Structures are given as structure tokens and as C-alpha cells.
């Protein structure tokens, strides 16, 4: 296939639209089902690059959940705990949890509201367990290097048979120069072929020099995720998965706050009060996710207002007070945080500390680096300067 005609571009009025190889060669994909659109392919190709790099960096199966050209979640296939299975909404599945299924559960479950209607990328051939997990989620499509026959049939049954399924040639190597047009003007640059490995975090600038292997792996996940996230961006990671991504903000501190709030929500969802919420039978999963977000968020007064809670809960749940949330959040430790550019002020470190961050990777290079390092030292954090910016636009 040399080109693939799209229904339209970013918006229905942007026609005609297609994808093709500029050199006239064959596209490195096969559309196995559905008719992916312009944004679907942007998410698919960015997501495929992300999971491919995660697999190379860690040796483990990887998955990502993309929305509007930024990941909502990304993860590797570390085994899930029973609590994680519950908060990722997969505890009721009668499947054998493969590493790939574990990776997708983490990627999809970290920020379930943002992942609603996602485009999935998998590093490995999609198996039946992963497909079973995907089948019941609201999703636009998937890209993977292949599909087991049973998995393909499961996925084809989604969206009344219209689910977008793309198979990519895992051996495809793109040209070293990449181009795009804006306002009729062509931009050209060398591809970002930066390899993120264990040596990437060798320049530790804090007093605390202890960087465990698992934390180093989590930092790699954060930086590879940022490599394909619209900038400015920061990424919080724990247990092999992104738990908070702040993308596309003009201010670094706003990235840190946004991602930190998502990371806090991830941890709050593991609290006994949230795990025991008495949902009415038959309430759709997406509605449950929305209710949980309201219950633990700033708008918790709304969900417990007279009459509102009765639409989702069988009985009125106890209020989750600010003090209770603060105490629960104080138990979250060992979080890793990556930033795609330097932290210009130490307020980012202060905010990160509130979400249990103990390990940080950022390029360095700010005129206030010494202040940022001092703040990290005050919290006993480990911080590595990578010397490399990871802007993505």
C-alpha cells in the first residue's frame, strides 16, 4: 500500500486527506480493520515509537494510551498487585495476566478519564488477554506489530465491527530527516534518535547519590514518555507506569501541578474509602470513573450534595476530608519525576515533594540550578542532570 486515503484531516472540513511515503515507497503498515483517521495515525505513530523505545530500554513489554498526540499513560509489564488490579478496573477479569496485559492495564488505568477514547500502542504482538482487557474499554483503535488470531477476532468485534486495527512492520526504519509543513512552509530537522539508557542518569548532582535500579527504570519511562509528549511536559512514574503526565503547558510549574494532581488522584484511588465506594449495580465504568474523580477531587461537595450521590451510589458514602486525603497522600513514597526541560525555579521541587517524589531527572542548565539542587537536597531527593532537552512539537 503506497497511500491511505483518510475521511478527512484534523477536522471534517479539511479535505482531501491521506498518508503516504514521500519517496513513493510502500507504507510500513497494514490496516487490519476499520478506517483510521488523521489524528488516529498521529497517535498511532507517536505511540508506536514510545513503546518501541520503552521495550528497548527495559527489555519488557510496553503499552501506551494516547489522546490528541500526547500519552495519557505509558507503562511496562511489571506484575500488578491486587490493589493495582482493582484501581485499574481489571480485578474482575478471568484472564492470565501476560506482561503485555499488565503494561496496558497500567497505561490505561493511570488516568482513566484522559484515556477515555484512546488510541493504543503495544510493543509486542497483541495476545488474547490484552485484547480482552481492551474490548470493554472505550477506545478508538490500536497499533501493534501483530495480533494473535483470537486477539484479532476479539478486537474486530469492538465498535460494531468498525474498531481501527493497525499492524506495523516492526522492522521499519524511518528516514533520518523528518519534515512537516506549517502555513505552506516546510520544516525539516533530524529525527530525535536520542537513546535513553542507564548511562543517561549518571550525572547525579544532589548529596543523595543512591539511585536504585527500579527508580532508574522509572526515570527512563518518564523521559521516554516525555520524548513523545507535547511540550512543556513533566511525567511522574511509579511501579513501572506513568501516574501523572502534564502536557502542553506554557509554564513549567503548571505542568508539575497538573501532573502532580493526577499522580495524587492515582494514589488516592488506592485508599480504603475509595476502594469501598458503594456503586449502584449496573453503573457504567466510565460513570464510576467520573464519580471517583469528583469524590476525591476539589468538587467532592458536588458528588455528596443531596440527591447527586443517589445517581451512582447505593448509599451515601462518608466524606473524604481534606485532612484524610493529606494523611493518605503522605504515605506515597518512591515516585520518580522527569522533566523535558530544566526547572527554572525550586517551586517545582516543592510541588513534586508533595506527591512523594524522591527521584528526579531533568536537563539542568538554568541560572537557578543551584537553588533547584538545594531544594532537592532539603527533601533528601536524588536528582540527575541529563544535559539533554526533550521538547516535542
The CATH architecture assigned to 3-173 reads: 3-Layer(aba) Sandwich (3.40)
pTM for the structure as a whole: 0.95
Domain 178-268+329-385 has CATH 3.40.50.1820: no
Q: Is the model's pLDDT at 300 over the cut of 70? A: no
Coil, strand or helix at 241 = strand
Task: Please indicate whether residue 68 is annotated as part of the active site.
Answer: yes
Domain 3-173 shares a fold with domain 178-268+329-385: yes
The one catalytic residue among 232, 239, 265, 348: 232
- Picking from 383, 386, 387, the residue whose alpha carbon sits closest to that of residue 375 is 383
> How does residue 299 score in pLDDT terms, banded at 50, 70 and 90?
low
Quote the CA–CA distance of 200 and 197 in Å, as a whole number: 5
Catalytic residue among 2, 160, 333, 393: 393
pLDDT digits (tens, 9 = 90+) for 9-27: 999 999 999 999 988 899 9
Catalytic residue, candidates 68, 156, 159, 207:
68
The whole-number pLDDT of residue 281 equals: 92
179 catalytic residue (yes or no):
no
Is residue 393 annotated as a catalytic residue, yes or no? yes
Distances (CA, A) of 263 to 141, 251, 335: 26, 18, 9
Question: Would you kindly state where each structural domain of the chain is located, as residue ranges?
Answer: 3-173, 178-268+329-385, 272-319
Per-residue pLDDT at 240 exceeds 90: yes
User: Does residue 302 contact residue 281 with C-beta atoms inside 8 Å?
Assistant: no
Q: Which one of 67, 216, 227, 238 is the catalytic residue?
A: 67
What is the per-residue pLDDT across 184-233, written as a single tens digit (0 to 9) for each?
999 999 999 999 987 899 999 999 999 999 999 999 999 999 999 999 99
Amino acid at each position: 500500500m503506497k497511500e491511505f486515503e483518510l475521511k478527512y484531516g484534523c477536522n471534517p472540513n479539511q479535505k482531501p486527506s491521506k498518508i503516504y511515503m514521500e519517496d513513493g515507497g510502500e507504507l510500513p503498515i497494514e490496516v487490519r480493520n476499520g478506517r483510521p483517521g488523521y489524528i488516529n495515525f498521529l497517535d498511532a505513530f507517536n505511540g508506536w515509537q514510545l513503546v518501541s523505545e520503552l521495550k528497548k530500554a527495559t527489555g519488557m513489554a510496553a503499552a501506551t494510551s494516547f489522546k490528541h498526540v500526547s500519552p495519557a499513560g505509558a507503562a511496562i509489564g511489571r506484575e500488578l498487585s491486587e490493589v493495582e488490579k482493582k484501581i485499574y478496573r481489571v480485578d474482575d477479569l478471568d484472564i492470565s495476566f501476560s506482561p503485555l496485559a499488565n503494561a496496558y492495564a497500567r497505561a490505561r488505568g493511570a488516568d482513566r478519564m484522559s484515556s477515555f477514547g484512546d488510541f493504543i500502542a503495544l510493543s509486542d504482538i497483541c495476545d488474547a488477554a490484552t485484547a480482552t482487557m481492551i474490548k470493554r474499554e472505550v477506545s478508538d483503535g490500536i497499533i501493534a506489530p501483530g495480533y494473535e488470531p483470537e486477539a484479532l477476532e476479539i478486537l474486530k468485534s469492538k465498535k460494531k465491527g468498525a474498531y481501527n486495527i493497525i499492524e506495523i512492520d516492526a522492522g521499519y526504519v524511518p528516514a533520518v530527516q523528518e519534515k512537516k509543513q506549517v502555513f505552506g512552509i516546510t520544516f525539516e530537522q533530524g529525527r530525535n534518535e536520542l537513546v535513553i539508557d542507564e548511562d543517561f542518569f549518571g550525572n547525579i548532582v544532589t548529596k543523595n547519590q543512591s539511585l536504585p535500579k527500579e527508580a532508574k527504570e522509572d526515570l527512563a519511562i518518564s523521559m521516554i514518555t516525555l520524548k513523545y509528549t507535547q511540550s512543556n511536559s513533566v511525567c511522574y512514574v511509579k511501579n513501572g507506569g506513568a501516574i501523572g503526565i502534564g502536557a502542553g503547558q506554557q509554564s513549567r510549574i503548571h505542568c508539575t501541578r497538573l501532573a502532580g494532581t493526577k499522580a495524587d488522584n492515582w494514589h488516592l484511588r488506592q485508599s480504603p474509602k475509595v476502594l469501598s465506594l458503594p456503586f449502584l449495580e449496573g453503573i457504567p465504568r466510565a460513570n464510576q470513573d467520573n464519580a471517583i474523580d469528583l469524590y476525591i477531587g476539589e468538587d467532592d461537595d458536588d458528588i455528596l450534595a443531596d440527591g447527586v450521590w443517589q445517581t451512582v451510589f447505593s448509599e451515601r458514602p462518608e466524606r473524604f476530608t481534606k485532612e484524610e486525603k493529606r494523611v493518605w497522600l503522605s504515605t506515597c513514597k518512591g515516585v520518580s519525576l522527569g522533566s523535558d526541560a530544566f526547572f527554572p525555579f525550586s517551586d517545582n521541587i516543592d510541588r513534586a515533594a508533595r506527591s512523594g517524589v524522591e527521584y528526579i531527572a531533568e536537563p539542568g542548565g538554568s541560572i537557578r540550578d543551584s537553588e533547584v539542587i538545594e531544594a532537592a537536597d532539603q527533601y533528601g531527593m536524588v536528582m540527575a542532570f541529563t544535559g539533554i532537552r526533550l521538547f516535542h512539537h
